[in-house]
Structure 1
Amino acid sequence: MPKLVDHEKRKKQIAEATWRVILERGMEGATVRNIAKEAGLSLGALRHYFSAQDELLVYAMELVKEQAEARIKRVAAENLPPKEMMLKILLEIVPTTKETMAEMEVWFAFTAHARHKKDVFDASHDGIFTAIARLIHYLDEMKLFKKELDKDVETEKLYAIIDGLALHAMLEPSRVDRNRIIHILTSHIHSICKEEQENSGVGHL
């Protein structure tokens, strides 16, 4: 068991080195040689953990996804009013901190790189659309979602808003800052919810 733990820890360290290389040099600089150097490993040692570049890149991106999912699960487990919980979850998806901004920048770079390699990694399966669909369904379950709205359409609209905010937060951080993002998301959440007192109890996502 100790060897397994050490192995996974080392793989995570290599993945984190991969993120740093992508942030500093872009995907074209994310060679096995550069990543090994950043991780402080020889090429042979790195290949002990990852036999090919694509295998390493996919692992690094899956780790980004897992970290985001873990943050969302922690928020979902909190005892928050529905609208507040929805906002807090969306703020774990849209980059508003140095950590999440770095994750998003790496994710966008990798998505562009992987768009012709769907046999290796399908970046469209990032889990964001599914998470948003569940949030819309959750509002409906809590009797907050406006009856006149179409859940499928609102899921697509919110997905587009999240994508747009994420991109512009990365490209224009001084304009699309955390306060602006919170204002836009809060406004949108209120626009799809009924005008009534929220119940402090929560359902299950």
Structure 2
Amino acid sequence: MPRLIDHDERDRQIGDAAIRVLAAEGLAALSVRKVADEAGIATASLRRAFPTQEALRRFCVGRIRDDVAARIAGLQGEGRPLVLRLLAELLPLDDARRRELAAQLQLAVLALTDPDLGDSVAQMHDAVHTVCASALHELVRTGGMSPDADLPREAARLHALLDGLALQLLSTRPADPRQVADAVLEHHIDALPGGAARM
């Protein structure tokens, strides 16, 4: 009797392998053969799942987005502590998130000249912006930010801060990235309209 293929598990293996390859060796190494070797599966099996490199690249972007969303969905709590944990999920504070960001940056560079991949990267950008807006709404809801604040402007400012902080953490690799991230994020939250007064 032929062995049944668990397609979800196979896709998970391929996604993990592709992100490792992107993070360690860059976009040029993201070939079907290289990813198949890294995943420990037959090249033909990977080609059946992702017949083109474009399909594999789009899958990687979606995989990163889905992994971040799953971690965020598992968070509990409310107010400032929840917001800090929420924003931390978007930063390279451990090996897995460093790999995600390194892979994401490789794909984002390609997306500048690849319209198909550009749509996928734009969706990821929009998802990060949504998280920023949700974090601010949570602060307003729990009294950690003035309800009179300009939320769209503050969401754009927070998004820009996160993007810059993520790149800084990835490139400088501080000994305690969480301590650095917490200090920056807490300072920013305190500086929001009504932030420090409502701690």
TM-score by length of 1: 0.85
**Number of matched pairs:** 192
Q: Taking every aligned residue pair, what percent have the same amino acid on both sides?
A: 25
1:24 paired residue number: 24
| Match of residue 88 from structure 1 | 85
Letter in structure 1 aligned against 2:30: A
Cα deviation for residue 23 of structure 1 reads: 1.9
1:138 paired residue number: 138
TM-superposed deviation, 1:180:
1.2
State the one-letter code of the partner of 1:108: L
- Once the two structures are TM-superposed, the CA of residue 50 in structure 1 deviates from its matched residue by 1.2
SS in 2 for 1:47: helix
In the alignment, structure 2 segments of 5+ residues that lack a partner are none
Please report how far the alpha carbon of residue 7 of structure 1 lies from its aligned counterpart in structure 2 after TM superposition. Answer: 1.2
Pairwise CA RMSD: 2.0
Residues in 1 aligned to 2:73 and 2:42: alpha-carbon distance in whole angstroms: 37
Paired with 1:22 and 1:70, the residues of 2 have a C-alpha distance of 21
5 Å-filtered alignment, 1:107-122, equals: 107-122=104-119
Q: CA deviation at 1:138?
A: 2.4
**CA 1:10/1:140 → structure 2, altered by over 3 Å: closer, same or farther?**
same
Which residue of structure 1 aligns with residue 151 of structure 2?
A: 151
**Take 2:109 and 2:39, find their aligned partners in 1: how far apart are those partners?**
24
CA–CA separation in structure 2 for the residues paired with 1:39 and 1:98 = 18
Q: Which residue of 2 aligns with 1:200?
A: none
TM-score when normalising by structure 2: 0.88
Unaligned regions of 5+ residues in structure 1, if any? 198-205
Residue 102 (str. 1) matches residue 99 (str. 2): yes
> Higher helix fraction: Structure 1 or Structure 2?
2
1:11-56 C-alpha deviation (Å, 9 max, x unpaired): 1111111112112210011111211222233332211211111111
After the TM superposition, which residues 37-186 of structure 1 pair with which residues of structure 2 at under 5 Å, given as runs? 37-75=37-75, 78=76, 80-122=77-119, 123-126=121-124, 127-147=127-147, 149-174=149-174, 177-186=177-186
Q: Which amino acid aligns with 1:82?
A: G
Structure with the greater relative contact order (CA < 8 A, sep ≥ 6): 1 or 2?
1
1:77-127 Cα distance to aligned partner (Å, 9 max, x none): x2x340111001001111111111111111111111122223244212211
